[in-house]
Amino acid sequence: MSLTKRCSAEFLGTLWLVFGGCGSAVIAAAFPNVGIGLLGVSLAFGLTVLTMAYAIGHISGCHLNPAVSVGLWTGKRFPASELLPYIVAQVLGGIAGAWLIEQRVNHARDLLETTTLPVDDVARRAGLGTGASLRQHMRATVGVSPGAYRRTFSG
């Protein structure tokens, strides 16, 4: 299989890992007693790796992490000529996954600015699940609750 296809698979796999795993961790971080909790975060990471192992393992080896690629190279189980392209694909995939999480929050901010929907409805429409999740994301990215954010636009 070509290096381009293998690197594309690593990009997609790392994007999925960051989006699914890190996205769930952000949700659970400030609300340990609400939502998925530590077990849910563990399952989210495990299931994202499992789905990618089945989806891209036969294509790229499913490293999903530059540390794994470097470890395989150090152990002489991965060619040096492919190390840098794999790492670049993995870093770009991670950035893309983080960008997707940010876009969900931006959509929620737009809904808060332009509608009077309840916070739970805004969270669902933005793909953040619950109002608790939206509150966590808003506090982490904007520094205020959704209600306080909305009040700045209601004049």
Question: Tokens 């690629």 sit at which residue?
Answer: 69
| Helix segments in 1-118, DSSP class H | 3-17, 23-29, 37-60, 66-74, 80-114
Per-residue pLDDT, 133 = 81
56: tokens are 């891209």
The arithmetic mean of pLDDT across residues 145-149, rounded, is 90
Per-residue pLDDT, 98 = 93
> How confident is the prediction for the chain on average, in pLDDT?
90
**By the 8 A CB rule, do 150 and 112 touch?**
yes
CB-neighbour burial class of residue 40 (10 A; exposed 0-12, middle 13-18, buried 19+) = middle
Question: CA–CA separation, 95 vs 90, rounded Å?
Answer: 9
The arithmetic mean of pLDDT across residues 112-121, rounded, is 93
Question: Would you state the CATH architecture of domain 3-154?
Answer: Up-down Bundle (1.20)
pLDDT at 125 over 70: yes
**Residue 38: pLDDT band with limits 50, 70, 90:** confident
**By the 8 A CB rule, do 31 and 131 touch?**
no
Which pLDDT tens digit goes with each residue over 56-109? 999 999 999 999 999 999 999 999 999 999 999 999 999 999 999 889 889 999
The arithmetic mean of pLDDT across residues 4-8, rounded, is 98
Prediction pTM value:
0.85
Cα 143 to chain centroid distance, Å, stands at: 20
Q: What residue segments make up the domains of the chain, in order of their start?
A: 3-154
